[in-house]
């Protein structure tokens, strides 16, 4: 869902550590909270100084629009973001204090959308990528009762949450999911919480043991995890949306720093609808053969299975950050 981005000031209501190297910022910003959708993001100016000069992008981890679920006036128009300390900008953010004001731009990009005709939604999150799935889970849960868009999600296990991280202190969102009457399945690489392994292991087990009829997948996390989820989606022939948290400088499509390699639409249609043989054949015109001593025709049908698909670069901030997984060329 596209919305018009606004430049606004947001006041910090709460700033807390939620993991070994992760923090949550609760901001009051009615102008943006009114429009924000799960999967969209804001660009945040870390400091009033010119250094660092560039804003940082952050997906929404909670959204409470004015006049929504939270009725008290002082809590109207709230949004939350979660961040992980990975560099100088996020290190500076750890020093932000409650009561401070920040310059933000948003909401930006396109968020998640409901996969029509699917009776079950499986949400897969890894590390800090768990956080953006919380508002989407909330919308799916709320929509099961209120919104006709989600009328097919009417079964007790219609929304399944699978989350993973390196260790216990890297797992986020458990309390938030439980408040939505969702019991997340958890995996950790070191086995300190839940099942030893990866979130994608939970996904494969879920699809193999409980079936995969009428399922849609929604994922956010590290790129290797998303690539694996996309592979599993292809294996089970399931629709899958992935939220890419790409680096970017502007959030408006001008810097091209968030370019993502995607399949050309024609190539995508061919791969879906054309017979396998037709998709793999190309007409090659080679001057060496034309009129040469062999007398071969200038047009030959040659099967070329090694030829990479036609591609282009999409701007994650404009066309994403949520994409269908089959659009992405995973490298």
Which pLDDT tens digit goes with each residue over 197-254?
999 999 999 999 988 889 999 999 999 999 999 999 999 999 999 999 877 878 877 8
Strands 6-17 and 101-108 turn out to be: antiparallel
Task: Read off the pTM.
Answer: 0.83
Q: Are residues 196 and 216 in the same domain?
A: yes
Q: Alpha-carbon distance 65 to 102, whole Å?
A: 19
Q: Are residues 149 and 88 in the same domain?
A: no
**Contact between residue 66 and residue 76 where contact means Cβ atoms under 8 Å apart:** yes
Q: Are residues 224 and 131 in the same domain?
A: yes
Per-residue pLDDT band for 55 (boundaries 50, 70, 90) equals confident
Name the H helices within the chain: 30-33, 88-93, 133-146, 174-179, 199-210, 223-236, 265-273, 276-280, 316-319
Mean pLDDT of 62-87: 80
Mean pLDDT of 101-125: 94
The count of structural domains within the chain is: 3
Domain range holding 276? 265-309
**Is 114 a domain residue?**
no
Length of the chain, please? 331
CB burial class (10 A; 0-12, 13-18, 19+) of residue 154?
exposed
Torsion, CA 48, CA 51, CA 54, CA 57, rounded to 10: -70
Average pLDDT, the chain: 83
**Is 327 a domain residue?**
no
User: What tokens does 207 get?
Assistant: 């699809």
Q: Are residues 175 and 274 in the same domain?
A: no
Q: Are residues 237 and 140 in the same domain?
A: yes
Q: Are residues 27 and 64 in the same domain?
A: yes
**Contact between residue 81 and residue 23 where contact means Cβ atoms under 8 Å apart:** no
**Contact between residue 315 and residue 261 where contact means Cβ atoms under 8 Å apart:** no
Q: Alpha-carbon distance 87 to 178, whole Å?
A: 32
**Is 182 a domain residue?**
yes
CATH number for the domain spanning 18: value is: 2.40.30.10
Residue 163 has pLDDT above 90, yes or no: yes
- Cα four-point dihedral sign 101, 107, 112, 114: positive
pLDDT at 271: 44
């Amino acid at each position: 869902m596209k919305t018009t981005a606004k430049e606004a000031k947001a006041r910090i209501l709460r700033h807390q550590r939620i993991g070994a190297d992760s923090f949550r910022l609760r901001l009051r910003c009615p102008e943006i909270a009114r429009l924000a959708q799960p999967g969209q993001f804001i660009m945040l100016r870390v400091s009033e100084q010119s250094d660092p000069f560039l804003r940082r992008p952050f997906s929404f981890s909670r959204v409470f629009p004015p006049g929504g679920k939270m009725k008290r006036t002082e809590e109207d128009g709230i949004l939350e973001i979660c961040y992980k300390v990975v560099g100088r900008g996020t290190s500076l953010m750890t020093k932000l204090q409650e009561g401070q004001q920040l310059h933000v731009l948003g909401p930006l990009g396109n968020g998640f959308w409901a996969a029509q005709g699917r009776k079950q939604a499986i949400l897969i999150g890894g590390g800090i990528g768990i956080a953006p799935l919380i508002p989407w889970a909330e919308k799916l849960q709320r929509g099961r009762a209120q919104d006709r868009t989600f009328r097919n999600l009417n079964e007790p296990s219609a929304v399944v949450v699978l989350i993973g991280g390196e260790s216990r202190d890297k797992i986020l969102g458990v309390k938030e999911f439980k408040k939505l009457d969702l019991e997340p399945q958890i995996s950790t690489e070191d086995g300190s919480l839940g099942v030893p392994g990866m979130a994608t292991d939970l996904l494969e087990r879920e699809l193999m043991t409980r079936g995969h009829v009428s399922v849609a997948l929604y994922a956010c996390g590290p790129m290797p995890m998303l690539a694996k989820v996309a592979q599993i989606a292809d294996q089970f022939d399931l629709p899958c949306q992935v939220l890419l948290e790409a680096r970017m400088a502007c959030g408006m499509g001008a810097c091209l720093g968030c370019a993502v390699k995607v399949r050309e639409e024609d190539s995508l249609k061919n791969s879906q609808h054309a017979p396998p043989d037709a998709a793999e054949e190309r007409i090659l015109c080679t001057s060496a053969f034309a009129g040469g001593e062999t007398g071969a025709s200038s047009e030959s049908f040659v099967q070329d299975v090694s030829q990479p698909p036609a591609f282009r670069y999409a701007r994650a901030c404009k066309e994403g950050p949520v994409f269908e997984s089959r659009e992405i060329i995973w490298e």
